[in-house]
């Protein structure tokens, strides 16, 4: 059976989600603290989401590989060996790079500020034209995360130098 980029990325996403769960448990992040969600609530939920998205991507890739026509076997050698498209790799590295940016800027901007900047940067580098829409997406994300996790669920979020 021919491998595909979606299968590889799906398996990587499942492994990444599992790694986040293991690291979260080993570092002592608590899913719940008493009756309120703890510091491990958001990473745990995100890790499950990433893992499930990877599973869906991998299963969809396997299903498409089974139903593919046999003419695909006659593709040229360069396409058969290199399974990733340039645009797909760009998107992958933008998401990974933005994730690293969010993690490292949390110390200075706090989690909500880092997520707002991360959403704006990711939207811009993934092809959103102009700067207005990415900035509005970042600010909207900040408001949504604040309302859900800080105000409603009262999850203790890391604060930055500005106290946000």
Tokens of 3: 């491998």
The CA dihedral of 94, 96, 97, 102, to the nearest 10 degrees, is 120
**pLDDT score for 164:** 66
- As a whole number, the mean pLDDT across the chain is 79
Whether 137 has a pLDDT exceeding 90, the answer reads yes
pLDDT classification of 71: cutoffs 50, 70, 90: very low
What residue spans define the domains of the chain? 1-84, 85-164
Give the containing element (helix H, strand E) for 91: helix 86-125
* pLDDT, tens only, 12-64: 889 988 888 887 777 777 777 777 777 777 778 888 888 898 898 888 888 87
């Amino acid at each position: 059976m021919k491998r595909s980029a979606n299968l590889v990325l799906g398996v990587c996403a499942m492994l990444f989600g599992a790694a986040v769960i293991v690291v979260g448990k080993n570092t002592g992040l608590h899913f719940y603290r008493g009756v309120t969600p703890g510091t491990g609530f958001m990473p745990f939920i995100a890790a499950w989401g990433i893992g499930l998205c990877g599973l869906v991507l991998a299963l969809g890739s396997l299903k498409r590989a089974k139903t593919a026509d046999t003419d695909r076997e006659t593709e040229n050698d360069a396409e058969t060996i290199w399974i990733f498209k340039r645009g797909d790799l760009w998107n992958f590295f933008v998401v990974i790079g933005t994730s690293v940016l969010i993690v490292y800027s949390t110390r200075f901007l706090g989690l909500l500020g880092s997520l707002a900047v991360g959403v704006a940067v990711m939207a811009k580098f993934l092809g959103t034209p102009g700067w207005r829409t990415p900035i509005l997406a970042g600010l909207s994300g900040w408001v949504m995360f604040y309302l859900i996790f800080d105000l409603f669920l009262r999850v203790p979020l890391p604060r930055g130098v500005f106290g946000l």
